[in-house]
């Protein structure tokens, strides 16, 4: 990656925007650390309609910390919460962080320096998955981390892929550029690929993406095994929704592919009884491999089942719109 060129322009002000939903305990544990690491930036935490006491926690913490500006909105999904936070913010640049992404000290200034050089920049910082126990329940985190590293490799190889495959857990953009696409984001995916939807609209507006691995944050990602296949199905749904909204930017069947493996995934994702039985057998195999401590094999089988379930979610969403 090329070293940014020095500039005499003043650093823009930065507002950190963090959407959160039903994660009071995790937020309570991380909030002080987040404020320390983002000093002296304004921190807007958007409570996306939580019912677990998040709003009360934020109000209590804000009473003693003027940089913390909580905002409560009706539940509308993470992208709607990010947009609401950007509207509430005062900084020239918004740094979007997920509520389980903890930046290293100095990251806010690093983002500001890059935006001082380029007003049309969408900047991704690094957010590798942090360490955790390796056991029969860790395959969702392990496979997510590997998927993220695959995305990083693509961004490093070709920065033009940043916006079409955007990950919104650690990114910064000029506030006015984000708000310029806000109305177009309405009605977009709510659970998965809402960040890709954002990236494609920013690309339409002439912005460009970059990935800066020197701006690091730890992604404290955790997902229970019983959520793994639900997430896979919703990922396929979100991809179908995004493809319908951006037909010129995405292929007609973005999960299609060729070869025997792709053909097998399409068959296993089908509605037949045999396909359903095969999926259930595969899920049982993941559990058995975990109990046997064959963790590499468990991760591999789970990864293949993810792609099958993602294909099923995609197909289901596309058929529902016909």
CA gap 314, 129 in Å, rounded: 26
**How do 93-97 and 14-20 pair as beta strands?**
parallel
Model pLDDT for residues 111-149, shown as the tens digit of each residue: 999 999 999 999 999 999 999 999 999 999 999 999 999
Tokens in use for 131?
């360490």
CA gap 129, 145 in Å, rounded: 6
CA gap 84, 188 in Å, rounded: 15
Considering only CA atoms, give the Rg of the chain. Answer: 20
Does domain 14-223 bear CATH number 3.40.50.2300?
no
- Answer whether 212's CB lies under 8 Å from 114's CB: yes
**How do 208-219 and 101-103 pair as beta strands?**
antiparallel
Query: Is the preceding peptide bond at 40 cis, omega within 30 degrees of 0?
Result: yes
With CA atoms as reference, report the closest residue to 71 among 85, 53, 54: 85
pLDDT at 254: 75
Phi, psi (5° rounding) for residue 169?
Answer: -70, -20
Kindly state the helix (H) or strand (E) to which residue 174 belongs, with its residue range. Answer: strand 170-174
Q: Is 278 helix (H, G, I), strand (E, B) or coil?
A: helix
Q: Is 289 helix (H, G, I), strand (E, B) or coil?
A: helix
Model pLDDT for residues 279-301, shown as the tens digit of each residue: 999 999 999 999 999 999 999 99
Tokens in use for 34?
């987040």
pLDDT tier for residue 5 given thresholds of 50, 70 and 90: very low
- Answer whether 45's CB lies under 8 Å from 27's CB: yes
pLDDT tier for residue 6 given thresholds of 50, 70 and 90: low
pLDDT tier for residue 2 given thresholds of 50, 70 and 90: very low
Domain-by-domain residue ranges, the chain? 14-223, 250-320
Instruction: Report the phi/psi class of residue 53: left, alpha or beta, with left for phi > 0 and alpha for psi in -120 to 50.
Output: left
CA gap 93, 13 in Å, rounded: 6
pLDDT tier for residue 261 given thresholds of 50, 70 and 90: confident
- Answer whether 17's CB lies under 8 Å from 82's CB: yes
Sheet with 14-20, strands from edge to edge, namely 71-73, 42-48, 14-20, 93-97, 170-174, 121-126, 208-219, 101-103
pLDDT at 262: 78
Model pLDDT for residues 159-217, shown as the tens digit of each residue: 999 999 999 999 999 999 999 999 999 999 988 999 999 999 999 999 999 999 999 99
pLDDT > 70 fraction of the chain, expressed in percent and rounded: 97
Distance of CA 163 to the CA centre of its chain: 13
pTM: 0.93
With CA atoms as reference, report the closest residue to 60 among 73, 49, 47: 47
CA gap 117, 246 in Å, rounded: 30
Tokens in use for 170?
């650690």
């Amino acid at each position: 990656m090329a070293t940014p060129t020095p500039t005499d322009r003043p650093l823009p002000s930065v507002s950190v925007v963090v959407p959160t939903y039903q994660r009071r305990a995790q937020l309570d544990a991380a909030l002080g650390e987040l404020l320390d690491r983002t000093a002296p930036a304004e921190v807007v935490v958007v409570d996306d309609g939580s019912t677990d006491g998040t709003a009360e926690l934020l109000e209590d913490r804000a009473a003693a910390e003027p940089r913390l500006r909580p905002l409560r909105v009706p539940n509308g999904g993470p992208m709607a919460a990010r947009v609401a936070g950007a509207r509430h913010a005062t900084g020239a640049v918004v740094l979007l962080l997920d509520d389980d992404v903890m930046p290293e000290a100095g990251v806010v200034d690093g983002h500001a320096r890059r935006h001082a050089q380029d007003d049309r920049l969408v900047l991704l910082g690094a957010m590798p998955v942090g360490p955790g126990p390796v056991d029969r329940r860790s395959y969702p985190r392990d496979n997510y981390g590997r998927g993220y590293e695959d995305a990083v490799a693509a961004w490093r190889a070709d920065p033009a892929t940043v916006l079409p495959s955007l990950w919104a857990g650690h990114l910064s953009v000029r506030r006015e550029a984000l708000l310029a696409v806000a109305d177009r984001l309405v009605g977009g995916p709510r659970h998965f690929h809402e960040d890709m939807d954002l990236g494609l609209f920013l690309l339409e507006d002439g912005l460009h993406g970059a990935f800066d691995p020197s701006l690091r944050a730890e992604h404290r990602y955790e997902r229970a095994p019983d959520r793994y296949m639900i997430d896979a199905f919703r990922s396929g749904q979100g991809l179908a929704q995004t493809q319908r909204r951006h037909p010129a930017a995405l292929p007609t069947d973005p999960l299609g592919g060729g070869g025997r493996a792709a053909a097998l995934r399409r068959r296993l994702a089908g509605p037949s009884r045999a396909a359903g039985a095969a999926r259930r057998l595969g899920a049982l195999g993941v559990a058995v491999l975990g109990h046997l401590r064959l963790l590499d094999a468990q991760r591999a089988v789970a990864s293949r089942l993810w792609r099958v379930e993602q294909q099923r979610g995609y197909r289901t969403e596309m058929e529902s719109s016909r």
